[in-house]
Structure 1
Amino acid sequence: MNRSIASGVFSVVSAKVVVLVVTAVSTPLLYRFLGASAYGDYAFLLSAFAIYMIFVSSGITDGVRKFLAEDRNAANWSEHVVGFYFRLAIVLAIVGAVLLVLAARSGLVAAAFGEELTRYFYALAALVLSAQFRDYARKTLMGFGLERYSEPLKVLDKVGFVAVAIPLVYLDFGVLGALAGHLFASVIVAAAGLALVDRRVPLSCVFTRPPERFPRKRMLTFNSMSIVLVFLLMSLYHIDIVMLQRFRTSAEVGNYRAALTIAEFLWFVPLALQTVFVHSTSELWSQNRMRKITDLASRTTRYTFLLTGVMAVGLAALADVAVPLYFGSEAEPAIKPLLLLLPGAIGFALARPILAISQGNGTLRYPVVATGVAAGINLVLNALLIPLYGMQGAAIATSVGYGSMFVFHCWSARRVGFDPLADARLGRTALTTVLAGGPIVALAAAISNPWVALAVVPPIGFAIFLAFALLVGALDPTDPFEVLSAFPDPVGSTASGLRARLESLEDESSRNWLQTLLFGIGLSLLVSGLTLGVLGVDVRAVLALLSL
């Protein structure tokens, strides 16, 4: 991973960490203030809105990000791209808002979703306008490689939402208060984002007609394929919520959404990679650097599997502790769906960077086919299982759909021209997850105090997982430092020095000694963890004894 891509990833990951923290704090407050039933209505409205916005904005945001990132020699290329997509954004935003208002006034919304939800669609119509320009501005900045501006805007969006929505919901404005928070935040971000774009390319370019050789047809074709691709992706995210609302109560929808929220915490780094790779790999594709693309894809797959694997094991071990503490006792029914969702969430996390690299190529035929097959499996299973098993059925169906994304997108990647499994070491990483899972789960079960479990299990569990990853060869000792060396100084220079020292260990006996040491540590952790779990030893007593 070169330094330019790494800096983009670093900017996106930093913003996503902040957003993750704000979301982690605000989501349980929304759940508690709204209650499971109203939170279910709110989750359904956001899912319906996300699917609707696919046809309003997805082709625009993906298109402007990709084509701005391409290295073109045409005169005023950036101005023409920005103006072309800005005109398209204005037209589609107005049409999208008007159609929502007409659907609400004509009774179509009431017939489809119930009279009580109709009033919310007027707020969604206003949100169409603001969200369109918010997303256009952010993705345009990303197309210019200005993640240092686009990602803080995402933080501003989340903070602005929380600052308005939480007080309004607390004051009993209910779902309308939450939607008002989204509207306020998107207006602020759209205004700030467009001002930043105007500093790079004057927005007056919207009135400039591009030359005849400007690839309008290719852009519109890419838009069409992007809309299909994003629609299929969004169906994986939201079709379970929409169908569950149709067959079950709003309270069950709310608890299922709570389970999804926790499972989606696995995706924050893969999402960052996906966000950056679309436009960053466009340049690699344009230079025909196939070996670099394969190396980037396969190592990203390995690192993503390792990271999401340890997070999934930790969430599974602490699910019965974390869910009631996080959302309240009313959310205890969300524990089982969460456990069922975790395997699929890992598969979807692995598929995200692969999909992004395929998108960077610009040929969307195979990614669309792969996503379409996974979305079809997800739709059919949800239709079969939700009426019978409710949110457990939705979790099983969605997990299978998520997991199949990885399989189908590996096939798609090879058709596009790169191999995401070349250095993925899937077998070793899976073995690491299985070996580390035992002691981590046993350690969590042995701790009776939930707060102590939340404080102790994550760091010790990560150490256990890292030891096994090094032991079985899923992770080389130099790998973490190689990744960190691409980041800005002083992190990059320090990591490079440490990496060089490790690589200088040519003595085979030194390497064997290191592996033996790691094996001993891993084995002792495994035995001690299982012993604690079987005997039910209170870890607090052990820690108190060690502190004497």
Structure 2
Amino acid sequence: MDRSTLSAFVSVIGAKAVILLVGILSTPILVRLFTQTQYGDFAFVFSLFSLLMIVVSSGVGDGVRKFLAEDADVDHWEQHVVGFFFQMALLFSLVGAALLVLGGYFLSGRFFKPIFQTYFIVLGILVVAAQFNNFSRRVLMGFGLERISEPLGVLDRALLWIIGLTLVYFGFGVTGLLTGFILSGTVVSVLGIVAVRDRISLWALFTPTPSGFPKREFMTYNVLNVALILLLTSLYHVDILMLQPIGGSGTLGVYKGALKIAEFLWFVPMAIQSVLLHSTSELWSKDATEEITQMATRTTRFVFLTTALLALGLGALADIVVPLYLGESYTPAVVPLLILLPGALGFALARPILAIGQGNGAMKPLLLATGTAAVINLGLNALLIPRYRMIGAAVATSVGYGSMFVFHAITARHIGFDALADIRPVALFVTVTVSGAAIFGLNAALSQPYLRLLVVPPAGFAVFTALTILTGAIDERELAPIFDRLPVSLSS
């Protein structure tokens, strides 16, 4: 990464670390305030909402980031880009909200419990709040202002959990938690739009896009990106939507707990993915393919190492972590969690590669790769869930997740960069194998659960880090930009 990209990444990963910590602290409270049925209801309605938001929001958010980052010889380019996507965001959010409210009115009582009508009305309001929360922060990222957009993301998550958990505690259930989403999103939307006033006039948000502006290119990117993200997100919502009517909300609640823990593996990859789309858009516009390949292959190695370390730790300590984190009633989530971990690692590797491809704008190959993985995921879930319930869902989803890396690594070469050019497979294999043996061996040697929690993570981290350097999986030259950002007393 160059210095500007590294600076953006540091801002993003710092914010995501705080968001992760807030989530880690809040989720155990939530699952204890909810019954497993309520948690299953929330997982189901939120999956429906997330899939709708892909259509409503993904093309808008990624589009404004991509095109703001590109150099264009057009007068008032930035103002017109923001204005065009703002108007699109407004239209899409209103249509999405109407669909949810009408869907709740006609479907609740016939296909869902009566309470779902209330859920759908609240979700309709949430669509608008979430749209402009996402839009305002993506505009800031497009301008390279991660130092503002990421703290706003932290504020959003903090307000969400403070307000949402308070309302759940006082008996408002799923509706109360969704209301927390609405209020936090509204606050962040207003602050984000105020923060961007220094870059563009707010009148630009409502100014018609002039003729001759590449609106067709914007719309094409939007449509293809929506299709891409819809396929991508189906990988981690199809299992939930299919398991609920077959296994019930209680089983879904347990399975959702396993998914929640497995998703911890995506912390670093999602931070990198957030930065790479608009960072590489600029490089693609300059035809800097060699620099893109170098960035991609280093990122792939870095993501593999950090994610594999987390997977090893969670795998070894799953029997302690799950009941301690979610409660004893969620102990059945241990097995699906162990099944999900290898696939979650593969999905983690695919995320940065996907972002670089999006920055190029070559959407059709990305659609083919993601669509193939989504079809595999859907087919396996349909085959395995009726017979094996959440274990079948875990197997199907893990295979679908893992296939993403294979297909996108192949697609990357077609697009014009090689994410595996300097992958160093022997070094990675030795690092992970020896570290895994040490982590699982030490874990087996200790009998006391809390002693395992205290000893295994730091010891495993120390062994893994030492092997990473000794094997050459990461060398000093690649660590230099990171050390340059530390105080002199530390970097020395």
**What code does the residue aligned with 2:317 have?**
L
SS at match of 1:145: coil
SS at match of 1:111: coil
- Check the 8 A contact 1:134/1:187 in 2, yes or no: yes
Q: Which residue of 2 aligns with 1:455?
A: 454
**What code does the residue aligned with 2:39 have?**
Y
SS at match of 1:288: coil
Q: Which residue of 1 aligns with 2:300?
A: 301
Q: Which residue of 2 aligns with 1:78?
A: 78
Aligned equivalents of 1:230, 1:115: Cα separation in 2: 31
Matches within 5 A, 1:400-415: 400-415=399-414
Shift of 1:483: 4.4
Shift of 1:119: 1.8
Aligned equivalents of 2:334, 2:154: Cα separation in 1: 29
Aligned equivalents of 1:438, 1:417: Cα separation in 2: 38
In the alignment, structure 1 residue 27 sits paired with structure 2 residue 27: yes
In the alignment, structure 1 residue 192 sits paired with structure 2 residue 191: yes
- Structure 1 segments of 4 or more deviating over 6 A? none
- Check the 8 A contact 1:302/1:426 in 2, yes or no: no
Aligned equivalents of 1:458, 1:163: Cα separation in 2: 30
Aligned equivalents of 2:245, 2:201: Cα separation in 1: 47
Shift of 1:108: 2.4
With over 3 angstroms needed to count, the CA separation of the structure-2 counterparts of 1:226 and 1:199, relative to structure 1, is same
Q: Which residue of 1 aligns with 2:116?
A: 117
Aligned equivalents of 1:447, 1:243: Cα separation in 2: 40
Q: CA offsets, 1:482-540, max 9 Å, x none?
A: 24146x3537x964xx5xxxxxxxxxxxxxxxxxxxxxxxxxxxxxxxxxxxxxxxxxx
> TM-score, structure 2 length as denominator?
0.97
Aligned equivalents of 1:474, 1:247: Cα separation in 2: 45
Matches within 5 A, 1:247-266: 247-266=246-265
**What code does the residue aligned with 1:414 have?**
R
Shift of 1:109: 4.2
Q: Which residue of 1 aligns with 2:93?
A: 93
Q: Which residue of 2 aligns with 1:9?
A: 9
Shift of 1:467: 2.8
Shift of 1:353: 0.5
Q: CA offsets, 1:177-225, max 9 Å, x none?
A: 1111111111111111111122321221133233322100000000000
Q: Which residue of 2 aligns with 1:428?
A: 427
**What code does the residue aligned with 2:103 have?**
A
Aligned equivalents of 1:257, 1:263: Cα separation in 2: 10
**What code does the residue aligned with 1:48 have?**
L
Aligned equivalents of 1:212, 1:179: Cα separation in 2: 41
Q: CA offsets, 1:46-80, max 9 Å, x none?
A: 11100011111111111111000111121100000
Aligned equivalents of 1:146, 1:122: Cα separation in 2: 34
SS at match of 2:236: helix
Shift of 1:110: 4.0
- Check the 8 A contact 2:247/2:389 in 1, yes or no: yes
Q: Which residue of 1 aligns with 2:286?
A: 287
Could you say what the CA RMSD is over the residues aligned between the two structures, in angstroms? 1.5
**What code does the residue aligned with 2:465 have?**
L
Aligned equivalents of 1:355, 1:110: Cα separation in 2: 40
Aligned equivalents of 1:169, 1:108: Cα separation in 2: 25
Deviates more, 1:196-205 or 1:284-293: 196-205
**What code does the residue aligned with 1:405 have?**
M
Runs of 5+ unmatched residues, structure 2:
none
Shift of 1:447: 2.2
Q: CA offsets, 1:25-66, max 9 Å, x none?
A: 000110011022211111111111000111111111111110
In the alignment, structure 1 residue 490 sits paired with structure 2 residue 469: no
Aligned equivalents of 1:375, 1:162: Cα separation in 2: 31
SS at match of 2:410: helix
Shift of 1:479: 5.0
Shift of 1:90: 1.0
Q: CA offsets, 1:371-400, max 9 Å, x none?
A: 000011000001111111111111111100
- Bigger Rg, which one: 1
Q: CA offsets, 1:92-118, max 9 Å, x none?
A: 11111112111122x224434443422
SS at match of 1:161: helix
Aligned equivalents of 2:38, 2:482: Cα separation in 1: 44
Deviates more, 1:239-248 or 1:111-120: 111-120
Q: CA offsets, 1:113-139, max 9 Å, x none?
A: 443422211110110111111111010
Q: Which residue of 2 aligns with 1:67?
A: 67
Matches within 5 A, 1:136-215: 136-215=135-214
Aligned equivalents of 1:279, 1:109: Cα separation in 2: 41
**What code does the residue aligned with 2:331 have?**
E
Matches within 5 A, 1:392-403: 392-403=391-402
Q: Which residue of 2 aligns with 1:377?
A: 376
Q: Which residue of 1 aligns with 2:388?
A: 389
SS at match of 1:424: coil
Aligned equivalents of 1:381, 1:75: Cα separation in 2: 51
- Check the 8 A contact 2:136/2:192 in 1, yes or no: yes
- Check the 8 A contact 2:104/2:116 in 1, yes or no: no
- Check the 8 A contact 2:31/2:39 in 1, yes or no: yes
- Check the 8 A contact 1:104/1:110 in 2, yes or no: no
Aligned equivalents of 2:271, 2:17: Cα separation in 1: 10
Aligned equivalents of 1:285, 1:70: Cα separation in 2: 9
SS at match of 2:110: helix
**What code does the residue aligned with 2:263 have?**
E
- Check the 8 A contact 2:3/2:481 in 1, yes or no: no
Aligned equivalents of 2:108, 2:209: Cα separation in 1: 40
Aligned equivalents of 1:494, 1:442: Cα separation in 2: 33
Deviates more, 1:428-437 or 1:160-169: 428-437
Q: Which residue of 2 aligns with 1:534?
A: none
Identity %: 51
**What code does the residue aligned with 1:231 have?**
L
Aligned equivalents of 2:405, 2:113: Cα separation in 1: 37
Aligned equivalents of 1:469, 1:23: Cα separation in 2: 29
Q: Which residue of 2 aligns with 1:56?
A: 56
In the alignment, structure 1 residue 41 sits paired with structure 2 residue 41: yes
Shift of 1:365: 1.0
SS at match of 2:171: coil
Q: Which residue of 1 aligns with 2:442?
A: 443
Shift of 1:446: 2.3
With over 3 angstroms needed to count, the CA separation of the structure-2 counterparts of 1:397 and 1:182, relative to structure 1, is same
Q: Which residue of 2 aligns with 1:232?
A: 231
Aligned equivalents of 1:257, 1:427: Cα separation in 2: 35
Deviates more, 1:418-427 or 1:319-328: 418-427
- Check the 8 A contact 2:165/2:177 in 1, yes or no: yes
**What code does the residue aligned with 2:119 have?**
Y
Q: Which residue of 1 aligns with 2:479?
A: 481
Aligned equivalents of 2:13, 2:297: Cα separation in 1: 20
With over 3 angstroms needed to count, the CA separation of the structure-2 counterparts of 1:253 and 1:202, relative to structure 1, is same
Shift of 1:430: 2.8
SS at match of 1:170: helix
SS at match of 1:132: helix
Deviates more, 1:223-232 or 1:430-439: 430-439
